[in-house]
Amino acid sequence: MRPDPGVAAAGQAGAGRNRQCSPTSRLEQCLFGLPVEATALAWRLMKSRRRVALLMDVHTSYDHGVARGIIRYARQHGSWRLFGQGWTLAQVPDARSWDGHGIITRVHHPREVAALLAPGVPVVDVCRTSPHPRVHSTANDDEETGRMAGRYFFAAGHRRFAFCGCPEGVYSHRRYHGFITELGLAEAQLESFLRPRTWWHRPGGVPAVLKAWISRLELPVAILAVDDAIGVKIARACAELGIAIPDQVALVGVDNEEVLCELANPPLSSIPCNTERMGYEAARLLDRLMDEGEPKRSLHVSIPPLPIVERGSSNRFGSDDQVLLSALRYIHHSDLLNMQVPDVVKISGLSRRALEMRFRRELSRSIHDEISQARLDRARHLLTTTDQTIRTIALSSGFASPQRFHAVFRKRTGMLPSAFRTRHRGIAAGR
């Protein structure tokens, strides 16, 4: 009996397809000849087998945030299997012998790069302390961090500034540059104290050289510390010198290491890095590189910092005018729903004209401008920390209508509230 030619042809085609498949994977073999839906499912299953090495410590809140973002992306987009060097992960004894599909890491020093590149898979750095032309990265926008500190201090009325950082840190240079650029200062005009990171983190008492530098500053002054550990050491130096924080020295750190900041005396204000979004975007970038292959030039994704977390170390208002300070505290710490300029004038004990003159002289803005700024500050906080609707945020922040809120917000920030929320919320931009 002769076989049916259609069946024979199908069998031959099937045999041909099987010969083209890798014999090492049934899943890869079954990808050929399946309906479109089944092929897509099989591809997702194969993709889910990706082995990704997470080669970084998970000790600090920075590390925890990055890890949360990576895990969230992995769960949303394909169930990677994560390996690492800590006791909580399947082990990667040596990066040079890693046989997976990609690596996410924190590169602290250029000498680490060779071992990371040895496996020949894409590498994404979530720190960018030591940029390398073959290592991709997602990291905090350090220039914007410095600019944010400059805007914060200047808006509070401060006119004398200083900076403490690390000469070897690329992130320190970027924060410094953003700071002086926002303030419109030349390098020679900004008092700076730079020491290696190991010097700042050395245990023991406050070094005499740091206290000597602080004692020479003209007070009051606003100091940006390049990270929270440095900020805490500056606060200890001020306490030993009898210099009052925040009245004589306003102090802001970076990273918002909450336990460290809250244990400082007074608690340290800080600019948070959006670490969870950094981790999420690092995972998304690695996924793209594993899908499409690596380009000739490394890719970088810059993540804006979150709004400053204000604590006791930074006096919001850098002025010696007690009447003005009283008016400012009333504006920023009272119910904004129905606040009007006459309410502020009433608590000051001055005429409206006299109080307006003090606002103009010290802050270069009007009482009404300050009320609007307080409303915007509250709205920014709610946009980045809650899931309230924009309408609810507008009304609870004291704006007459959502339309008025949109107009003022766009004029002051250059973007709509929804765009601001997307840019600054942890994973919103990646959903």
**CATH code of residue 384:** 1.10.10.60
Q: Is residue 314 part of a domain?
A: no
Residue 377's pLDDT is 83
Residue 17's pLDDT is 36
Q: What is the pLDDT of residues 408-427, one digit of tens each?
A: 899 888 889 988 888 766 44
When divided into structural domains, the chain yields a total of 4
Do 180 and 205 have their domain in common? yes
pTM above threshold 0.85: no
Q: What is the pLDDT of residues 284-335, one digit of tens each?
A: 999 999 989 889 889 999 999 998 988 989 866 666 678 888 888 888 777 8
Residue 240's pLDDT is 94
Residue 374's pLDDT is 87
Question: Where does residue 349 rank: exposed (0-12), middle (13-18), buried (19+ CB within 10 A)?
Answer: exposed
Do 22 and 107 have their domain in common? no
Do 241 and 282 have their domain in common? no
Q: Is residue 312 part of a domain?
A: no
Q: What is the pLDDT of residues 384-393, one digit of tens each?
A: 778 899 999 9
Do 356 and 384 have their domain in common? yes
> Which domain, by its residues, includes 291?
51-141+275-303
- Among candidate residues 262, 231, 282, the one with its CA nearest the CA of residue 61: 262
**CB-based contacts of 122: which residues, under 8 Å, 6+ apart?**
102, 103, 136, 286, 289, 290, 294
Task: Read off the CATH number of the domain in which 176 is found.
Answer: 3.40.50.2300
Q: What is the pLDDT of residues 128-151, one digit of tens each?
A: 887 888 999 999 999 999 999 999
Do 408 and 351 have their domain in common? yes
- List, in sequence order, every residue forming a beta bridge with 123; answer none if it has no partner: 103
First to last CA, the chain: 60
Question: Where does residue 370 rank: exposed (0-12), middle (13-18), buried (19+ CB within 10 A)?
Answer: buried
Q: Is residue 315 part of a domain?
A: no
Do 167 and 264 have their domain in common? yes
Higher pLDDT, 74 or 47: 74
Do 265 and 281 have their domain in common? no
pLDDT at 104 over 90: yes
- Calculate the average pLDDT of the chain: 83
Do 57 and 177 have their domain in common? no
